[in-house]
Chains A and B, each alone.
Chain A
Amino acid sequence: MTTPKTNKQDVDKVTGVETTGHEWDGIKELNNPLPRWWLNVFYACIVGSVIYWVLMPAWPGLPGIGGYTKGTLGFSDRANVSKDIAQLQAERAPLAAKLSGADLNTVEQDPELMQYAFAAGEAAFKDNCATCHGAGGQGVKGYPSLADDVWLWGGTLTDIRHTLEVGIRADHDETRYSQMPAFGRDGILSAQEISDVTDYVLNFSGNSDAGAEALSRGQEIYAVNCVSCHGDAGLGDRTQGAPNLADAEWVYGGSKAEVMTSISRGPFGVMPAWAGRLDSSTLDALAVYVHSRGGGE
């Protein structure tokens, strides 16, 4: 070992130690000995790093060859993550099975099951549902809110679970299906008739300022074209997904122009059938989560 270069001329008077010759504003660095064990730790680290290269993935491959040195221990982060996920699923399996077997209506009374269903449902909701229905299920124009008390196809846990399974106007044998005609586009009603019936529909919720004459014209058109699905008082029909026209909620907007657009084009909202895409216990969890958003019946 070579002795570090020191300044033999410059010896600190107080301690009698040579300095390294480094000086900052009159403060000089003394050249005190480094403990032997410290030095040995440094050498041990060098040896350790060489051992690490052998045992663990360390060096990238040469250009053109690619790959990397895999190390003799066979360590792989990717494999570890897969293992962790499998372990996590195994740990969750008992609760998932309990949820699958449970009557959904009792889940909310069971804190443990509720906590699991809520967390699992929230995760599944954010992955699969939030794109259309929003992060908290608040919906946007054209995509119904899941947080309010308005349900096109029913808001009990069983109804929600079934809707999730079969979808709406989706590729499933039992899918929930209905179709409102495109009264304007298909030439069933004229523009004036659509305006009149819109006034009549808006009047259900007291939001129309049209005169009695227009309303009576609209009533006639409504009685012929709309009443079979939406009902005499415009309360809708859940068996065919016909929305309530008398409440404050409008999936496609509640201004006169928006309602006229809906009547003219005939809305045809679609939700995929989730059976087959998500497993049964995830659907249960999703139903509980959606039900818990605030509007569940």
Chain B
Amino acid sequence: MSNKSQSSVEVHNVKAVNAADGRKFYKKREPIYPKRVNGQWRKIKWIAMIVLLGIYYGVPWLRWDRGPFLPDQAVLVDFEGRRFYFFWIQLWPQEVFFITGLLILAALGLFFVTALFGRVWCGYACPQTVWTDLFIAVERWIEGDRNARMRLDKAPWTWDKVRKKVSKHIVWLFIAAATGGAWILYFHDAPTVAANLFMGTAPVTSYLFLGLLTFTTYTLAGTMREQVCTYMCPWPRIQGAMLDNDSLSVVYRHDRGEPRGKHKKGEPWDNRGHCVDCNACVAACPMGIDIRDGAQLECINCALCIDACDSVMEKVNLPKGLIAYDTEANSIRRQMGDKPVFRFVRSRTVYYATVFILVSAVMLYALVNRSSLDLNVIRDRSPNFIQLSDGAIRNGYVIKAINKTGEARTVTLSIDGPESMALTGLGVAAHDGVVDIEIAPNAVRAVRVFATMPKGVAKETNDLTFNLVDPEDGSRRSAAATFAGPKS
């Protein structure tokens, strides 16, 4: 496997799982044993993992005081109460377009980042990558690095092998259950539901989702790993549309590396490439591929092969970056003898950034101008209007007054319309042409109100506006409506 008498570089006996000459129909999955690497990209991946997992597991425990009538969880999707709480923002079901906007922003952000830096999402931030990375770290911690794991799998079943395998799967299942458990915390009061989960008194749906997500985490990150990216995920297919010749991706520099060959210490580097064919890049790859075969569907751009190659280059006293973040255009430029150029400002990235900023601005505007009060008016259509005994014309409306604050308030409803029009309500006090409506905290109150016009004044359609005003804080909402009368 290694030959240290001739070279300081360890040579790995490894072959890419997708090598062209090894392809067969109905091929079984070839086990991949990613080797541990050290380097700047690995460091960034560790930090990304800690931050992302920290957010996922930690956020449900953050508290946020909203007063006595509302939950104090900072981020809470409250299906039972039909509310979404996000720190100082509280969304009602009818405001779900903010979530849609957020998804649009996420998609645009993904497009933008992909156009700029290639598959950084796949390589650093995708849950599949992060959890797989974590599961591989556990595997390495219990069973040892690449060679030890390969030996262990080939070895006959001994007590030691059983112990290692069982403890690995137990730790995996523990992480998977914690992942499923943390998901539940986003939908209920976290401390309560966490206690209930252990006591066996949580809702059945909680256990169902806990079980489902434990299962998916365990299988996707533990046993399926790279197959998820290669066969199941649609993103590798779609992202081709975001990439162009100037997009960054992890590239093996053919111009510098070829012709490759084994290298003994002290040999000259003339008339040969810098690649010493040690296969360190293949051994490190969690997807089990050979980056030197060029851009491939399977490559998630995790940059671990860069770290693997850089440490080899260091040993043989050559400059780093034989495998590096580079662009297609640059590799052509190098072959032509030109200097590499990185063009981040391109029409593609400008478009994505512009649309991203535009959507953000619209959403921010909508968010800032959200009122703590809302008003919906539904006019009776059957009957369209009613003639009273004295010939006056009356229209009925259902007013839905919405109080988005955590305190009870009394708001006044008035109308702007023809001067002779009078407003009355059912079960609410009317005075001086306005109606007082009490609304409970964080609630909707439906009130039936009537607008009446004296005989002979109403046209077939008359415009009016309902105004809902909170006299205390001055917040107001208006809704346009019509008043129907008889055909003249």
**In A116-174, which residues have CB < 8 Å from any B CB?**
118, 134-138, 145, 147-150
Q: Which of A32, A36, A37, A109 has the most CB of B within 10 A?
A: A37
Partner of A293, one of B25, B29, B396, B427: B396
Chain A residue at minimal CB-CB distance from B19: A16
Binds A, one of B136-144, B154-162, B348-356, B381-389: B381-389
**A138 cross-chain contacts in B, Cβ below 8 A:** 382-383, 386
**B20 cross-chain contacts in A, Cβ below 8 A:** 15-17
Docked-complex contact A134 and B382, CB < 8 angstroms: yes
CB distance from B470 to the nearest CB of A (A): 18
**A50 cross-chain contacts in B, Cβ below 8 A:** none
Docked-complex contact A148 and B389, CB < 8 angstroms: yes
Mark contacts of A28-63 with chain B using CB atoms, 8 A cut-off: 1 yes-contact digit, 0 otherwise.
000111111111000000000000000000000000
Secondary structure dominating the interface of B: loop
**B380 cross-chain contacts in A, Cβ below 8 A:** 136, 294
Partner of A248, one of B25, B389, B445: B389
**A9 cross-chain contacts in B, Cβ below 8 A:** none
Docked-complex contact B26 and A149, CB < 8 angstroms: no
Chain B residue at minimal CB-CB distance from A16: B20
> What is the interface size of chain B, counting residues whose CB is below 8 A from a CB of the partner?
32
Chain A residue at minimal CB-CB distance from B452: A294
Partner of B387, one of A108, A118, A248, A293: A248
Docked-complex contact B387 and A37, CB < 8 angstroms: no
Chain A residue at minimal CB-CB distance from B427: A108
Chain A residue at minimal CB-CB distance from B446: A115
Chain B residue at minimal CB-CB distance from A1: B26
**B383 cross-chain contacts in A, Cβ below 8 A:** 134, 136-138, 145, 147
**A37 cross-chain contacts in B, Cβ below 8 A:** 29, 224, 227
CB distance from B438 to the nearest CB of A (A): 8
Docked-complex contact B27 and A36, CB < 8 angstroms: yes
Mark contacts of B376-406 with chain A using CB atoms, 8 A cut-off: 1 yes-contact digit, 0 otherwise.
0000111100111111001010000000000
**A136 cross-chain contacts in B, Cβ below 8 A:** 380-383
Given contacts A36-B28, A37-B29, contact A247 B389 (CB under 8 A): yes
Binding site for A on B (CB under 8 A): 20-21, 23-29, 224, 227, 231, 380-383, 386-391, 394, 396, 426-427, 440, 445-446, 448, 450, 455
Binding site for B on A (CB under 8 A): 1, 3-4, 15-17, 31-39, 108-109, 111, 114-115, 118, 134-138, 145, 147-150, 244, 247-249, 292-296
Sort A-B residue pairs by CB-CB distance and give the 3 closest, nearest first.
Answer: A138-B383, A108-B427, A136-B382
Would you give 11 A-B contacts (Cβ < 8 Å), ordered by A?
A: A16-B21, A17-B23, A33-B23, A35-B29, A35-B231, A109-B427, A134-B383, A136-B383, A149-B389, A247-B390, A248-B390
